[in-house]
Every structure is written in C-alpha cells, then in structure tokens.
C-alpha cells in the first residue's frame, strides 16, 4: 500500500485532532470521542500512544520502534565502588562462597531460618576493598556474615571471624 492509498483509506483521527481533543495525561477525551476513534471503554493502557502511532503511520511518518539499548549501572558508572557488586565475576564468586561453605554467620552463628528476623547472609571482605583492592576477588579474603554482624564490623576493621566459632 502506498502512502497516498494509506492516507485515503485511513478513517481515524489525525495527530492534530488527537492532540486537540486530549491533554498529555489523557483527560479531556469523552467516551463518545474515543468510541468514534475505535477506542474501547474504559480505554486500555497505552491507547493514546497506539492511536498516535496509527495516525503517524497513515501519514507516512516514520517513527523508530526499537528502544535504545539500556545500559546497566556498571556500564554507566564503572568507576563507582558499588558497580563491582553487579559484575558477573563477583556474583559467581559470591554464589560459590555462599553455597560451598557452611552457610552461617562466622561471627554469631546465625543462619537463614534460625528465626523470623529480616536478617540475611552477606559475603564480607575481611580486608576491605578500599584498603586492598587487589584482594577483592581472593576467596581467602572472604567470609560469610549476617547483615547485623557485617554492619557492626564496618569497613575498616579487619576481623577474621572464620575460625573463632570452631
């Protein structure tokens, strides 16, 4: 179908008619107006966008349909310290530590299911990444702590709790 045929066969409203009848939040279009445009009542989510797309298509306006590629926080801010925790390498190592060892807090012995608290287990860097970034992926520098103990330990204490509970 050519653009001229498309314009001749299209019976819906033009973009200008749509924008004149409704505001940006969708208010202002009555049930009768929407019915005349073929929009069911109550209008489904995205009805305005679809109606505008049909009008543009009939007029030969080319609208890009592909969304731009979304970037992760790690890609947008690779220098941010927290970006490390979203990397695949860290997530794999963290999973190995949590599933390979006795999954309980090395400090207090808490484990998932011990009580009804909102506590959870984390993989802690014994010597912080800030002090020794070269040790961030060394398994020997990691220990399992519950969130409460991890918050109590803080970033600058180098306490290794792994052998205290044995």
Q: What is the pLDDT of residue 2?
A: 44
Q: What is the pLDDT of residue 145?
A: 92
Q: What is the pLDDT of residue 5?
A: 41
Full pLDDT tens readout for the chain, 166 residues = 444 444 456 667 777 887 777 765 656 677 788 778 777 777 777 778 887 888 877 777 665 656 666 766 666 666 777 788 888 999 999 999 998 767 889 899 888 887 878 888 999 999 988 889 899 999 999 999 999 999 888 777 788 887 765 5
Whole-model pTM? 0.51
Angle 134-141-163 (CA atoms, 0-180°, nearest 5)?
160
Q: What is the pLDDT of residue 74?
A: 62
Q: What is the pLDDT of residue 141?
A: 93
Give the integer Cα–Cα distance in Å for 43 and 161: 60
> What Å distances lie between residue 143 and 21, 22, 126, CA to CA?
63, 59, 7
Cβ count within 10 A of residue 125 = 20
């Amino acid at each position: 179908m050519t653009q001229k045929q498309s314009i001749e066969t299209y019976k819906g409203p033009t973009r200008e008619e749509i924008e004149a009848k409704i505001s940006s939040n969708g208010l202002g279009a009555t049930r009768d107006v929407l019915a005349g445009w073929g929009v069911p009542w109550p209008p489904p989510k995205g009805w305005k966008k679809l109606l505008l797309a049909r009008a543009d298509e009939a007029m030969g306006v080319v609208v890009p349909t592909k969304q731009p590629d979304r970037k992760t926080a790690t890609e947008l801010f690779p220098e941010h310290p927290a970006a490390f925790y979203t990397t695949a390498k860290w997530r794999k190592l963290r999973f190995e530590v949590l599933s390979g060892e006795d999954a309980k807090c090395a400090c207090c012995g808490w484990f998932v299911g011990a009580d009804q608290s909102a506590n959870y287990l984390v993989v802690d860097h014994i010597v912080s990444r800030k002090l020794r970034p070269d040790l961030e992926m060394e398994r020997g520098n990691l220990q399992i702590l519950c969130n409460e103990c991890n918050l109590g330990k803080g970033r600058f204490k180098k306490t290794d709790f792994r052998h205290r509970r044995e």
